[in-house]
C-alpha cells in the first residue's frame, strides 16, 4: 500500500515521503495513529500544494528543538541513593526520575525520548541521550552519588 508520511516514523522515513508499506501495517498501525495518509492522486496534489507552508512550520519546530537540545546539553542532573556497606545501591535512577528533574528545570520531554536501556543501578557519572526528533538529540549528564547518612 502506498502512503504519505504525515509525521517522522522511525525505520520508515520522514514526513512528506511516499513509501510502500504492507497493507496490514498501514491499516492496523499507521492509519489509526494518524501517522500516514493513503497516497491517492488527490492527496498527492494536496501535499504538493501545502509543501511550502509545511516546510516553514517544520523549520520553526526544528529551531525550537535545536534550542531545547542546547539547553539539555548544559544540564547536569544529580541523584543520591542509599548504598550498602558492600557498595550495592538500593533503588535506581529511572526515566521517571530524569523526567521529574527535567520538569523542575522547565524542560518538558516524553519518556520515549529518553534512550536509557535500563535503569541506572550504580554510583558514578553517566551520559543519557535524549532524542527530541529523528535527527535532533542531546546528551545530559547524570551524576549518581551515595546518600550520606
- Segment 99-115, tens digit of pLDDT: 999 998 888 888 888 99
pLDDT the model gives residue 149 = 59
The grid cell for 99 is: 523526567
Would you say residue 58 lies in a domain?
no
Helix, coil or strand: residue 141: strand
Check residues 54 and 35 and name the one with the higher pLDDT: 35
**Residue 85: predicted pLDDT:** 84
The pLDDT of residue 35 is: 93
Tally Cβ neighbours within 10 Å of residue 112: 8
pLDDT of residue 11: 85
Instruction: Kindly give the residue spans of alpha helices, DSSP state H, lying in the chain.
Output: 23-25, 41-49, 51-73, 95-104
Cα dihedral angle (27, 32, 33, 36), rounded to 10 degrees? 50
- Supply the mean pLDDT for the chain: 90
Mean pLDDT of 30-44: 93
Query: What is the domain extent for residue 12?
Result: 2-49
User: Are residues 18 and 84 part of one domain?
Assistant: no
Residues 141 and 77 both lie in one domain: yes
Tell me whether residue 11 is in a domain: yes
Does the pLDDT value for residue 64 go beyond 80? yes
- pTM to 2 decimals? 0.73
Residue 16 in any domain: the answer is: yes
Residue 12 in grid coordinates: 520508515
Are the C-beta atoms of residues 136 and 62 closer than 8 Å to each other? yes
Q: Pseudo-torsion of CA 39, 42, 46, 49, nearest 10°?
A: 110
Percent of the chain with pLDDT over 90: 50
Amino acid at each position: 500500500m502506498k502512503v504519505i508520511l504525515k509525521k517522522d516514523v522511525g525505520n520508515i522515513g520522514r514526513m512528506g515521503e511516499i513509501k510502500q508499506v504492507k497493507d496490514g501495517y498501514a491499516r492496523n498501525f499507521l492509519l489509526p495513529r494518524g501517522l500516514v495518509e493513503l497516497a491517492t492522486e488527490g492527496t498527492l496534489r494536496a501535499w504538493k500544494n501545502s509543501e511550502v507552508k509545511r516546510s516553514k512550520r517544520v523549520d520553526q519546530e526544528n529551531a525550537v528543538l535545536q534550542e531545547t537540545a542546547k539547553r539539555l546539553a548544559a544540564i547536569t542532573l544529580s541523584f543520591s541513593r542509599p548504598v550498602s556497606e558492600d557498595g550495592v545501591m538500593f533503588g535506581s535512577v529511572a526515566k521517571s526520575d530524569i523526567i521529574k528533574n527535567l520538569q523542575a528545570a522547565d524542560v518538558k520531554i516524553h519518556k520515549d525520548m529518553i534512550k536509557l536501556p535500563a535503569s541506572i543501578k550504580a554510583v558514578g557519572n553517566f551520559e543519557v541521550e535524549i532524542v527530541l526528533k529523528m535527527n535532533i538529540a542531546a546528551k545530559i549528564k547524570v551524576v549518581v552519588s551515595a546518600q550520606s547518612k
